[in-house]
């Protein structure tokens, strides 16, 4: 079994050109006892868990939405997506803001570990144990002392689930804009009153 030398990457080392020389870069994080990795180019930012606005009648893996610099971001719980129970958040809980298909989503994880550089030849395809399930695990990175489950975020949710989240984000943005306009109109009407 070949093992990879894995070193945390510094900001200067996380260049786009590393993928061309056989080195892949992943943001690693934990959910329960498992360690996962997501391609660094998919990740926009990682933030501390923040209060979410729960939207009624959504699937259990959708935890809510939050406002990130004026944009409403839907948030899913990775625990629920992979079939685990939701836990109370703590100081280590993070939201990974990432590109999923053509959408920006927040993904709640138990903790974020580090940026890892992994040689391309130490990544193996994920075993397909059950048809139609687990297609979001794109591969397994073999590290010196552990395995890293590499997620394909574009397969984390079905097409329908992703479209529903996009609609949720758009409708929440529109509702927020409409409420602001409605409030401004009310203020104007109030100012016009004697």
**Summary mean pLDDT of the chain:** 78
> Following DSSP, what letter does each residue of 79-145 receive, concatenated?
HHHTTPPP----TT-EEEEEEETTEEEEEEESEEEEEEEEEGGGEEEPP--STTS-TTEEEEEEBSS
140-161 pLDDT, tens digit each: 999 988 999 999 999 888 777 7
The predicted structure's pLDDT at residue 58: 84
Quick check: 15 pLDDT over 70?
no
**Number of CB atoms found within 10 A of residue 153's CB:** 19
The predicted structure's pLDDT at residue 2: 33
Domain membership of residue 37 (yes or no) is: yes
Total number of domains in the chain: 1
SS3 59: coil
Domain extent for 55: 11-192
Top pLDDT among 185 and 82 is at: 82
Domain membership of residue 5 (yes or no) is: no
The predicted structure's pLDDT at residue 19: 52
The structure tokens listed for 46 are: 């990682």
- In this prediction, residues 100-118 reach a mean pLDDT of 94
Top pLDDT among 3 and 88 is at: 88
Domain membership of residue 93 (yes or no) is: yes
The predicted structure's pLDDT at residue 16: 40
Domain membership of residue 132 (yes or no) is: yes
Domain membership of residue 38 (yes or no) is: yes
Domain membership of residue 6 (yes or no) is: no
First to last CA, the chain: 83
Q: Which one-letter DSSP state was computed for residue 180? A: H
Domain membership of residue 3 (yes or no) is: no
The predicted structure's pLDDT at residue 73: 95
Quick check: 162 pLDDT over 80?
no
The predicted structure's pLDDT at residue 20: 59
pTM of the model: 0.74
37 burial (CB, 10 Å; 0-12 / 13-18 / 19+) is buried
Quick check: 194 pLDDT over 50?
no
Q: Which one-letter DSSP state was computed for residue 56? A: T
- In this prediction, residues 77-90 reach a mean pLDDT of 92
Q: What percent of the chain has pLDDT over 90?
A: 52
User: CATH number for the domain including 143?
Assistant: 2.40.50.180
User: Which residues lie below 8 Å from residue 102, measured CB to CB, with a gap of 6+?
Assistant: 166
Q: What percent of the chain has pLDDT over 70?
A: 73
The predicted structure's pLDDT at residue 62: 92
């Amino acid at each position: 079994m070949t093992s990879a030398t894995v070193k945390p990457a510094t900001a200067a080392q996380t260049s786009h050109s590393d993928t061309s020389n056989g080195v892949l870069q992943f943001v690693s994080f934990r959910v329960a006892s498992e360690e996962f990795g997501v391609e660094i180019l998919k990740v926009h930012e990682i933030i501390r868990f923040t209060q979410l606005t729960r939207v009624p009648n959504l699937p259990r893996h959708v935890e809510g939405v939050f406002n990130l610099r004026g944009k409403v971001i839907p948030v899913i719980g990775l625990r629920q997506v992979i079939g685990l129970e939701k836990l109370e958040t703590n100081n280590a809980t993070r939201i990974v803001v990432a590109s999923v298909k053509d959408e920006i989503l927040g993904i709640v994880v138990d903790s974020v570990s580090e940026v890892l550089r992994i040689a391309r030849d130490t990544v193996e395809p994920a075993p397909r144990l059950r048809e139609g399930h687990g297609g979001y695990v794109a591969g397994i990175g073999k590290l010196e002392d552990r395995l890293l489950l590499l997620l394909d975020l574009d397969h984390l949710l079905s097409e329908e689930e992703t479209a529903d989240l996009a609609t949720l984000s758009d409708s929440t943005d529109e509702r927020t804009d409409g409420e602001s306009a409605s409030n401004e109109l009310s203020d104007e009407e109030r100012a016009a009153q004697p």
